[in-house]
């Protein structure tokens, strides 16, 4: 039987662009992981990140896939295994977040958000889990939900429907995978206002910050720090961790 490579590997979906997934990849690289970056369309930015990581002595490669397409996900993981030979951490940061007035939400809107945010997450987690349960060292899966599925704000009905499934999915993964290999864990992070979209108006930005207990925006590094904690604490599984400055329990919308 072929010996498994010794270098641990982390795959972060949605990590091509300089957003939260990219910060997570950098944090795991700093902890000694080889990095598999996933992107859908941002090939140039993903390759720039690969070049930066390699310049720092990190083994890194970028892989293209549409996570809503099962064939793409299969190809992504096949290429990853061919390249690295193992998978120790999966972080699912690929997502879409698109506003639509409630009256204008169509079946196509709901379907699109579910296919990327929900189905895409599940397909990646299922394939990663199947790999990890075959490894003596197991592995860790970290999904990305959203704090506001507990207190939804207006204009994002389709998005919240898709993200609301992630905590349940994470608990399902924790149960199913631990039955097959007790060294496989699954947890979820529920981000708050850590990297607000550039197209938000100033009042929207101020409202998001004012709604936190800490009265300030977070930073992608706050999510990366939570990922590192969930990766390294081997007695935590099936947990959904808000990283939101107290937004979940603070005030009204």
Residues 39-97: tens digit of each pLDDT: 998 899 999 999 999 999 999 999 999 999 999 999 999 999 999 999 999 999 999 98
Residue 96 belongs to some domain of the structure: yes
Residue 153 belongs to some domain of the structure: yes
Q: Where are the alpha helices (DSSP H) in the chain?
A: 20-30, 43-55, 70-84, 107-113, 120-132, 157-163, 165-180, 202-210, 220-232
Closest CA to 95 of 76, 80, 112: 112
Calpha distance 21→8 (Å, rounded): 18
Residue 47 belongs to some domain of the structure: yes
pLDDT, tens digit (0-9, with 9 covering 90-100), for 201-249: 788 788 888 899 999 999 999 999 999 999 999 999 999 999 999 999 9
Domains of the chain: total: 1
Residue 224 belongs to some domain of the structure: yes
Calpha distance 53→47 (Å, rounded): 10
pLDDT, tens digit (0-9, with 9 covering 90-100), for 25-35: 999 999 999 99
For the record, the structure tokens of 187 come out as 């947890």
Burial class (CB in 10 A: 0-12, 13-18, 19+), 154: exposed
**Residues with catalytic roles:** 159
Q: Which domain holds residue 184?
A: 9-243
Q: Can you tell me the mean pLDDT for 99-120? A: 96
Q: Inform me whether the pLDDT recorded for 192 exceeds 90.
A: yes
Contact of 20 with 26, CB cutoff 8 Å: no
Predicted local confidence at residue 135, as pLDDT? 97
Residue 248 belongs to some domain of the structure: no
pTM equals: 0.94
């Amino acid at each position: 039987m072929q010996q498994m490579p010794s270098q641990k590997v982390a795959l972060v979906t949605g990590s091509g662009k300089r957003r939260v997934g990219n910060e997570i990849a950098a944090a795991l690289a700093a902890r000694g992981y080889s990095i598999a970056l996933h992107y859908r369309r941002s090939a140039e930015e993903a390759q720039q990140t690969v070049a930066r990581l390699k310049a720092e002595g990190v083994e890194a490669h970028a892989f293209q896939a549409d996570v809503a397409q099962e064939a793409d996900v299969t190809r992504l993981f096949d290429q990853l295994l061919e390249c690295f030979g193992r998978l120790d951490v999966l972080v699912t940061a690929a997502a879409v977040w698109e506003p639509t007035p409630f009256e204008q939400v169509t079946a196509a809107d709901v379907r699109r958000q579910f296919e990327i945010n929900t189905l895409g997450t599940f397909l990646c987690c299922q394939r990663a889990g199947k790999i990890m349960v075959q490894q003596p060292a197991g592995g860790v899966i970290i999904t990305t939900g959203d704090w506001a599925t507990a207190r939804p704000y207006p204009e994002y009905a389709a998005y919240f429907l898709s993200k609301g499934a992630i905590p349940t999915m994470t608990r399902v993964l924790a149960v199913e995978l631990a039955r097959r290999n007790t060294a496989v864990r699954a947890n979820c992070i529920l981000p708050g206002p850590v990297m607000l979209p550039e197209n938000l108006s100033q009042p929207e930005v101020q409202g998001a910050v004012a709604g936190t207990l800490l009265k300030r925006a977070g930073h992608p590094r706050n999510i990366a720090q939570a990922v590192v904690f969930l990766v390294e604490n081997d007695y935590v599984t099936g947990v959904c961790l808000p990283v939101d400055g107290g937004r979940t329990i603070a005030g009204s919308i």
